Structure 1
Amino acid sequence: MLLFLATVNTVSAQQKKDTLKQGKQLDIISAQRYNFQKLDSGTQFISLVGNVQVRQEKTLFYADSAVLNQKLNTLEAFGHVHINDADSVHTYADYLKYYGKEKKAYLNKNVKLTDGKGVLTTTDLDYDMNTKIGTYLKGGKVVNGKTILTSKEGYYYGETRDIIFKRNVVLKDPGYDITTDTLLYNTFNDVVTFVSPTKIITGGRKIKTKEGWYNLKKKKAYFGSRPEMEDSTGTIKADKVGFDDSTGRAEFDGSVVYKGKDTANGYDLIANHLETDNKKGSFRATQNPLLIIKQNRDSIFVRADTLYSARFSDLVKEREVPSIRDSVYGKMVEANPKDSATNKFFEAYSHVRIFSDSTQAIGDSMFYSPRDSAFRLFKNPVVWGQENQLTGDTIYLYLQNNKPQKARVFENAMAISHAGLDYYNQVAGKTMNAFFVNGNINFLRTKGSPAESIYYGQDEGGKFVGVNKSTSDVIDTYFLDGTVHKIVFRNKLDGTSYPMGQVDHKELRLRGFKWLNDKRPKSKFEILSE
């Protein structure tokens, strides 16, 4: 017996010298039974059975049984295997093969790895103690709280707590479903990073992106490489997108394009910068924005420096647009509180330009609501319909099926049409109401103190026969095919008719006359290209 123990001690001493050349020694801490075997001079084993504990520096190995080759500094463990890597990463399995020189482990069957936050399970795992990198290639799953990720391949980095998932990656969370080919997930901060085409479904919204990140804990995200987002109302694309689901706010930058799904009363939007608030149902578009209001098969194009939209039912809330809000508040019917196409309003600020096939307009600011299909134009507005121009301090233009139905002009109202050469038919007053038929102006009533008019009469051949300048309390102008056909003066008429050769037609202008045809939007292509 003494000779046997001496032999073991001699061999162990020699093995320690050898293993120092290969790597840190695997030391036996405890076991219920030991069995030493020496097959030849280079193959020596110690079999351990029952509550086995082995240590290498700060790493502890536990198992039901194990075989230790101290010559090669390797460990093979069976049953309830547990690796405690410096109290930072814990790994479990039914089987372990560990190479002490390289500090690399191969685990098989019922493998589980945890860093205190996430839990990785798989059938086979390679784990490097030096780099703290674990690899599975036959399918695995990571559970971190309520977040579950699965993939064919996975690479766990213990130092940073990052996991790279590859091939058939699926992430499921109470608020998100994500599918992709490659994904990076950090178990500590709950951040998902996308590096390949990815599809995200969250709260009725679908997102397609090629790159970006999503903080599942803070509900914040950023997407690059022109992501696409779709919900029940429409689809939006931009070069870059950042949003915060906790507040409902989002920002879109670079060639932003929104396409609404409602073709009857919906809208499309183009801009270089867009801010949205889902909780308020609002957006603010800047950097050359364009609004396309859809009415059945026709469209109305609106350009401005800034476009804003929100729920009409929230209009009574305080906002920094008193000039527009005060003008429309209390003048419209009660709104439907539901999020619908008609429960929205649109505002435009600075350099407003509007184009449709039948009507064009400009102004400093605009308010529009689908509830009454009325464009409210403020500060130096101008409206054109066929050959006629309307101006005033404020103009309300009502549309039906994308064509003008009526217009109301408030303060300093004036209507002008070009009769030919330097001849202009003119009507001016305090207020004006215009009515349209099939998109053409049909009747115009002007009121003032008094109202004024200049009208060029023509014979049946179209030759000018004279010009009339008159005033009256009310002037009714009738049109035929968009041109002046007849004028009726009501109450306190005072006027004079002149032969064509007895007046200076360039000077024959009512106060406030401005012919602004050069500012008129000529086509939708002009609006689109601005």
Structure 2
Amino acid sequence: QIYIVHADEWYYEEGDSSVVDQLRGNVNVRYDSVFLFCDTAFIHGKILKAIGHSALVQGDSLKIFADTLTYDSESGQADLLGRVLLVNGNQRLRTDSLHYDTRTKIATYLTGAFLENLATRMYSQRGDYHVQEETIYFRDSVRVQDPQFRLKADSLYYKVRENRAYFTGPTLIRQQKANLYCEEGYYDLVAQEGLFTRNAQFADSTRQAQADEIYYQAQPERIILRGKGLYQEGSRLVSGDTLDYTTSSGEFLVRGNGFLQDGQQTIEAEGIDYNTRTERFQTQGRANVQDGAQFLEADRIMSTDSSEMAIVVGNVVWRDTSARVILTCDSAAYQRSAGYFMAMGSPPLLMQVIDGDTLYLVADRIRAERGAGEDSTRQIHAYHHVLIYKSDLQASCDSLIYSERDSLFQFFGNPVIWSDTSQFTADTISIRMTDQAIDSIFLRRRALILNSPDELYFNQIKGRLITASFNEGELAKMDVVGNAESVYYALEENGEYLGVNTSVCSEMVLLFADNQVQDIYYLREPESVMYPMDQVDHGSLQLEGFRWRILEKPLSLPDLLAKWNTIQPAMVESQ
């Protein structure tokens, strides 16, 4: 039923089978809940055509303005032409032509339209405005302009109440500082946050990211990558199943197959918490860290503060492939910038390949650190209850220092070294390496060397300073300086003892072949006595400080660990 609410003038024409009503001036016509306004209207049966300042009003909020309007009261269909403006709340839709179904409350355009929502302006070539659902479907050449971003898409739909644009095809968002691309997802125009899926990518002048899903928040900026996430910024590369990055704080949370590369350092773990500003990090699950030639593995790694100090816990393995060093322990402290590594636990075990053979070292604590300034060589310090095993060298002491620059081992605190059938003791002992082989051994103060082929009779050499020189891993020469004393058991060619010679002098030189004494040179007023084997108390010939410590000597790696575990409780109880 058509109700003519008002018109300044009303005319009608009767034809053979129909009547045409003509309304002029401030026309107002109502069809159920639909009001039509115009300058001039022609009503022919169920059809109304409005001309000039035409308007369609439905409900409390919907208004559509146009130059002309055609309305079918039976079907509820309206077609509007010329400077069409649809107003619904804060939304303004502008187009040249619009079809509107008053029953379904769906407006359709095919010739391009702009939607204005506060400061946001949207355009597409085709689209549908579902007024009742407050949803607008944009298709073909979609563009969105906003003070904060620009958007291009093949298609999207916009939910007015949510202020969200949902993407259903290739979409590119350009913000002031970042670009986002996806083929599905949504973006909240007010909150400036969104979820981007299907080939999701993020990029700005310095950063790139991609994942199965990217959640992005502009203020404060936050990026979450889910599913094969990859983030790159300069030399920093981060990947994992899920990445959560808040740029304002620099906090990175990586979960699942975590990988972080920052310069030369890479970190792999099931989970990684990392701060890009402080470079602090913490791992979850078994972790692997590589920094150049250095590798670190542990159940957990936690950096502590801006000093770059990290705490390493659980089945720790540290490797330096350039120096061919491996260090294992229960826990450790690690500082990357200084090349500092302190191994603790029971017991720290250091392994280093020397001359094709592996040297094993255990102690209460083992510390490795690089020199300051231009000196990048490493020093290794071992503290308390130090034991060493190598196939041709074994040692025990309270503390040890190894200098990579000088290739020098220094032993302190009741040190003892075994090489083949010889035992070396002194207040301090040093071993110099050349080409990864023993070059010389220095014994300082109360130096004493014992040698025995059968552990019945002992060759003894004592002095203030003893220097033992090696050739291709075998003892070749020994220089004894200061209060030199020797006890030497001479052998027949058949291996029987000929007698024992005792000598005292200021200095002596011994030459060796096949680890046996070949010649002895006594310098500066030597005093020597030769005793037959059966005419001397061999016990009385033992020099001051004599102590055969063969039971302390490690015989293998398992024996090394067993002896250390035996010594430790005994040492603790004695304290």
Could you state the TM-score of these two structures normalised by the residue count of structure 1? Answer: 0.75
Q: Which of 384, 388, 395 is the matching residue for 1:361?
A: 395
Give how far 1:389 is off: 0.8
Whole-Å separation in 2 of the counterparts to 1:140 and 1:394: 66
CA distance in 1, matches of 2:187, 2:370: 56
Which residue, out of 541, 548, 554, partners 1:521? Answer: 554
Alignment of 1:38-187 (within 5 A): 39=101, 41-43=103-105, 45=107, 52-54=115-117, 62-64=121-123, 68-76=129-137, 80-81=143-144, 92=151, 96-99=156-159, 105-107=165-167, 110-112=171-173, 120-127=180-187, 134-143=194-203, 146-156=206-216, 163-187=223-247
After TM superposition, the structure 1 = structure 2 runs for residues 165-314 of structure 1, keeping only pairs within 5 Å, are: 165-243=225-303, 249-262=309-322, 266-287=324-345, 288-312=347-371, 314=372
Q: CA RMSD in A?
A: 4.3
Residue pair 2:459, 2:489 contacting (<8 A) in 1 also: yes
Question: What is the alpha-carbon distance in structure 1 between the residues aligned to residue 477 and residue 171 of structure 2?
Answer: 85
What do residues 339-379 of structure 1 show as CA deviations (whole Å, max 9, x unaligned)? 4xxx3333322222223222222222222234443222222
Question: Does the 8 A contact of 1:356 with 1:402 survive in 2?
Answer: no
SS in 2 for 1:423: coil
Q: Is the 8 A contact 1:34 1:46 kept in 2?
A: no
Q: Are the aligned partners of 2:421 and 2:453 in contact in 1 as well (CA < 8 Å)?
A: no
How many angstroms apart in 1 are the aligned matches of 2:496 and 2:395? 31
Aligned to 2:59: 12
8 A Cα contact 2:106 2:128, kept in partner: no
CA distance in 2, matches of 1:401, 1:255: 32
Match of 2:547, as an amino acid?
K
Deviation, structure 1 residue 406: 2.1
Report the Cα distance in structure 2 between the residues aligned to 1:218 and 1:120, rounded to whole angstroms. Answer: 28
- Partners of 2:92 and 2:196 lie apart in 1 by 31
The secondary structure found in structure 2 opposite 1:196 is strand
SS in 2 for 1:462: coil
> 2:416, 2:493 → 1: CA distance?
32
Matched residue SS, 1:518? helix
Taking structure 1 as reference, are residues 311 and 112 closer, same or farther at Cα in structure 2, changes over 3 Å only? same
Secondary structure at the residue paired with 1:210?
A: strand
Do the aligned residues in 1 keep the contact of 2:96 with 2:113 (CA within 8 Å)? Answer: no
Give the match for residue 567 of structure 2.
Answer: none
CA distance in 1, matches of 2:467, 2:132: 104
- Supply the distance in 1 between the matched residues of 2:313 and 2:547 (Cα, whole angstroms): 39
Task: Provide Cα deviations, 1:19-75, integer angstroms capped at 9, x if missing partner.
Answer: xxxxxxx723556689997635344549899774458xxxx8643588543433333
- C-alpha deviation, 1:179, in angstroms: 4.3
2:413 match: 379
Partner residue, 1:511: 544
- Residue 324 (structure 1) aligns with: none
Equivalent residue, structure 1, for 2:515: 482
> Relative to 1, partners in 2 of residues 1:311 and 1:33: Cα closer, same or farther, differing over 3 Å?
closer
Specify whether residues 7 and 46 from structure 1 end up closer, same or farther in structure 2 by C-alpha distance, changes over 3 A only: farther
- Distance of aligned partners of 1:205 and 1:427 in 2 relative to their CA distance in 1, 3 Å threshold: same
Matches within 5 A, 1:298-337: 298-312=357-371, 314=372, 337=374
Equivalent residue, structure 2, for 1:493: 526
Deviation string 1:366-400 (CA, Å, 9 cap, x unpaired) is 22234443222222211211111111111122234
Deviation of 1:495 after TM superposition, in Å, equals: 4.8
After alignment, is 91-100 or 298-307 more displaced?
A: 91-100
For residues 54 and 441 of structure 1, the distance between their equivalents in structure 2, rounded to whole angstroms, comes to 92
SS in 1 for 2:29: helix
**Gapped runs of 5+ residues in structure 2?**
1-26, 36-55, 63-87, 565-575
Contact 1:281 1:310 (C-alpha < 8 Å) held by counterparts: yes
- What runs of 5+ residues in structure 1 fail to find an aligned partner? 16-25, 318-336
Task: State the Cα deviation string for residues 329-348 of structure 1 (Å, max 9, x = none).
Answer: xxxxxxxx474xxx333332
Higher Cα Rg, which structure: 2
**Alignment correspondent of 2:441:** 407
Secondary structure of the structure 2 residue equivalent to 1:137: strand
Structure 1 residues 38, 446: CA separation in 2 closer, same or farther (over 3 Å shift)?
Answer: closer
CA distance in structure 2 between the partners assigned to 1:486 and 1:422 by the alignment:
22
> How far apart are the structure 2 equivalents of 1:421 and 1:229?
49
Alignment check: 8 A CA contact 2:240 2:255 kept: no
Q: In 2 relative to 1, CA 508–42 (structure 1 residues): closer, same or farther, beyond 3 Å?
A: same
- Report what 1:334 is aligned to: none
SS in structure 2 at match of 1:259 = strand
Provide the secondary structure at the position in 2 that maps to 1:211. strand
Change (3 A) 1:190 1:419: closer
The reply on whether 1:471 has 2:531 as its aligned counterpart is: no
Matched position secondary structure for 1:2: strand
Q: Which amino acid aligns with 2:486?
A: S
> Counterpart amino acid of 1:270?
T
Distance in 2 (CA, whole Å) between partners of 1:278 and 1:487 is 51
Offset from partner CA, 1:240-277 (integer Å, 9 cap, x none):
33458975655543333333333xx5433333334444
Distance 1:32 1:370 in 2: 79
Whole-angstrom CA distance in 2 between matches of 1:121 and 1:33:
28
Secondary structure at 1:228's aligned position in 2? Answer: strand
The amino acid of 1:142's aligned partner reads F
CA contact (8 A) 1:219 1:244 kept: no
Within 5 Å, give how 1:341-352 maps onto structure 2.
343-352=377-386
Contact map agreement 1:111 1:124 (CA 8 A) in 2:
no
Distance 1:40-1:437 versus aligned 2 partners, 3 A rule:
closer
SS of the equivalent of 2:59 reads: helix
Contact 1:139 1:152 in 2 (8 A): yes
Give 2:477's aligned residue: 443
- The letter of the residue matching 1:347 is H
Q: In the alignment, what sits opposite 2:21? A: none
Tell me how far apart the structure 1 counterparts of residues 454 and 135 of structure 2 sit (CA, whole Å).
104
Alpha carbons of 1:527 and 1:357: their partners in 2 closer, same or farther (altered >3 Å)? same
- 2:495 counterpart SS class: coil
Higher RCO structure, 1 or 2 (CA under 8 Å, sep 6+): 1
Counterpart CA distance in 2 for 1:485 and 1:14 is: 115
Q: Shift in Å at residue 410 of structure 1?
A: 1.0
User: What amino acid is aligned across from residue 374 of structure 1 in structure 2?
Assistant: L
**Partner residue of 1:27?**
89
Give the number of the structure whose residues are more often strand, by fraction: 2
Contact 1:105 1:127 in 2 (8 A): yes
Equivalent residue letter for 2:462 = A
